[in-house]
Every structure is written in structure tokens, then in C-alpha cells.
Amino acid sequence: MKKKSKMYRFGCLLITILLAAVAVMGCGGGGDKEKSGATELRVSHQPEFETFQSYQAIQEGLDKKAGIAMKLVYFDSGMPQIEALPANQWDVGATGGVPMLMAALRYNAYMIGLANDESQANVVMVRPDSPILKTKGANPKYPEVYGSANDVKGKTIIVTTVSSGHYALSAYLKALGLTDKDVKIQNMEQAQAVAAFESGKGDIAVLWTPFAYTGLKKGWKVAASSDQVGAGVPLVLLANKKFADEHPDQVVKFLDVYFQSIDKMKKEQANLAEPYQKFLKDWAAIDITKEDAAMDIKWHPVYDLKEELAMFDNSKGQSEMEKTMGGIAEFFTEQGKFTSEEKEKVMKSGFITDKFLKMLAKEKGLIQ
């Protein structure tokens, strides 16, 4: 009996030790998170310039210092981001002005800031032997634009639809006196568009950076960029409404971290070309040269907190951002994506908000 009792006690002791070890290991998995005081924040991003700010913040630990643990959630383009909102797949993020409007109309998402201006970074591209390049300045209002109505009408255009690139394309067509109905639209994500155009499909490809750099390397020419056809293209910061309403403090922390990266970008500019190169390769599997990386930084102006407060200020009438988004809403309506009623509804919904910018500004002592 004694022998059996000892064995029994030994077995119980062994089980107790094992359970304790498992418990310690289990606690360790979440213990680091608790110890750091960080709350996971899912940040929706595309393989583009604006993601670099979030990526760098994570690399430098700025998010942890702010009490959040930012997790990047990958999407190829804007509409897949928006379509993931009902499933609550992300909390905050960045997207183009065009999908932002769809997010606001369908899901009441907030536009909480401006990531950058990518008006130079959305381009209409053609092959070097394209007849479109024979005509320049057909519309005197747009002297740098190549092509004419006759050159472009009926052509097959590869573009990521309901995107900033699509907005640039429609502005280009409008400058030539055409609409989407006058051409053949083929919807493709950016990587697919590059591959398809290289294989000989389509007459025109609409690309944004860094994919446009691949086109330039292949000898493709820019027929027009967004800024050349008067299509301001904002890349905006946005938030899931439910999350933002329930956790405004975390939204402000995200903005704080993001603006720290923006301040660094404004200060260092081309000196960040190599880290930007590394980011594109590591996170987006995209290889570009250091020179192209520096150019991409130059082509994406960013704005600090003070500048954005001014851009969102509507105390004396429509804010700069309301006017810009109103132009995009008009594009949606012309495309038949919005009815006139939907356009009015979304522009009066108050989705463009400086609430979180002001909360951050108060923390920083910029406003009372």
C-alpha cells in the first residue's frame, strides 16, 4: 500500500507540475501584451506609399509606446478593403478617396485624416508606339495631355475600377470630350494589369505607383497624370464607424503614431528611400530602385497635423477636403455608381470629420 501511495502521490505531483507549466506558458502568450499595455489595432492597407508610415511606426516601436499594437491587414486595392468592413476585418486604415466615398455611403465609415496627395502618382499609360502619343494638348485647358477623342474612342482600357486610378481615367476621358461609355473598360487589380498590358492586352493601362514604375521600366509612356487633368486624388485615413465610436482613444493613438511617421517623412524625404525600398520588398513583394523609391516619396506630398486641421476646417464654409470629396462624389454620380440622392446623402452625412484630429491636437497642446 505504501508503494502504491507513493506512486499515486508522485503521479499527482507530476500532473500538478505539468499543469502549472502549461498555465505559465499560456499566460506567457498574452502576458507580453498585457505587460506592454498594448491593445491590438488592425490597420487596413494596400501595397502603396501610405502603408510605409504605419510599417515604419511598427518597426520603430512607436505603436507600442502609444499603447497599441498595430497589425497590418493586406488588401490589393480599395474596394476589397471596403467590402471587408461588414465582416469587421479591420479597425482603421488608409484608402483612396474614391473607395472612401463608397465606404461612407454603404457603411458610414469615417474619413479621419489625409494620408497623402497622390495626384501625381495615378497615371494613364500607353505603349511607346501608340498613336495616342501623336497628339498633345488637343484640349488647350490640358496642354500636357496626350491623345484626342478620335485616338482614344473605342480603345480597350485596363483599370482597377472604383478606384483613384478610375477617377483619373474618367477625368482624362472628360478632358478629351469622352466618357467611360466611349471606351471598353477591363477591370483588373494593379499587378494583373501590368502583366496583361505587357502580354499585349489592352490599348491603355491606368496604373498607380509603385506599379507605374514597372511600366516606365518597360518603356511605357505617360499620356496623362491625375494632376494634369485636374483630378485631385487624396489618399485618406479612415475608420470603421463602430470601432471609432466605441474606441475613440485608440483612433487618436493611431493618428498620433501615423503623424509621427509623417513628420519624419517631411523632414528626411529622399533619405528614406532605402527603408522605403525594403518595406516594398518585405511587405508587398515589389522591387523598385532606390531612385524610383526617392521619386515615389517626392510624388506623394504629406501633411502634418497643423496642416490637416486647416484642410478639414469648415468653420467658414466648406472645408478643402469637403470640396475635394465633393468632386469625387460628382464623378461617382456621372459614372452611375451614385444617384443624385445618394450623392446628397453621403455629402451631408458628416463622414468627413476632424473630431479625432482635434482630440489629438488638444493632447499636443495645439488647440484649446
Domain membership of residue 189 (yes or no) is yes
- State the chain's mean pLDDT as an integer: 90
Same domain membership, residue 354 and residue 239: yes
Total domain count, the chain: 2
Strand partners, 95: 236
Cell numbers at 13, concatenated: 505531483
Measuring CA to CA, how many Å separate 159 from each of 70, 182, 252?
A: 31, 15, 35
Cα dihedral sign, 233-225-196-177? positive
Give the domain CATH number at 158: 3.40.190.10
- Boundary residue ending a domain (203, 229, 255): 229
Do the beta carbons of residue 132 and residue 151 sit within 8 Å? Answer: yes
Do the beta carbons of residue 346 and residue 98 sit within 8 Å? Answer: no
**Max Cα–Cα distance, the chain, nearest Å:** 105
- 345-362 pLDDT, tens digit each: 999 999 999 999 999 999
- Residue 9 pLDDT greater than 90, yes or no: no
Domain that holds residue 218: 122-229
How far is 44 from 248, CA to CA, in rounded Å?
A: 17
Domain membership of residue 318 (yes or no) is yes
Measuring CA to CA, how many Å separate 76 from each of 45, 56, 117, 366?
A: 8, 20, 19, 36
- Boundary residue ending a domain (229, 247, 269): 229
Same domain membership, residue 256 and residue 203: no
- Residue 97 pLDDT greater than 50, yes or no: yes
- 196-223 pLDDT, tens digit each: 999 999 999 999 999 999 999 999 999 9
Confidence class for position 338, pLDDT limits 50, 70, 90: confident
- Residue 11 pLDDT greater than 50, yes or no: no
- Residue 135 pLDDT greater than 80, yes or no: yes
- Residue 248 pLDDT greater than 60, yes or no: yes
Same domain membership, residue 319 and residue 266: yes
Same domain membership, residue 238 and residue 103: yes
- 220-234 pLDDT, tens digit each: 999 999 999 999 889
Same domain membership, residue 111 and residue 216: no
pTM of the model: 0.85
Cα dihedral sign, 59-275-252-97? negative
Domain membership of residue 309 (yes or no) is yes
Same domain membership, residue 192 and residue 110: no
Q: Taking the CA of residue 134 as centre, how many other CA atoms within 13 Å lie in the half-sphere pointing to its CB? A: 9
Same domain membership, residue 215 and residue 74: no
Same domain membership, residue 247 and residue 301: yes
- Residue 155 pLDDT greater than 50, yes or no: yes
- 185-197 pLDDT, tens digit each: 999 999 999 999 9
Confidence class for position 37, pLDDT limits 50, 70, 90: low
What is the pLDDT averaged over residues 107-126? 96
What is the pLDDT averaged over residues 1-27? 39
Task: Give pLDDT, residue 162.
Answer: 86
- 70-85 pLDDT, tens digit each: 999 999 999 999 999 9
Nearest 5°: CA angle at 168, between 166 and 172? 115
Domain membership of residue 25 (yes or no) is no
Same domain membership, residue 73 and residue 60: yes
How far is 105 from 148, CA to CA, in rounded Å?
A: 35
What is the pLDDT averaged over residues 290-303? 95
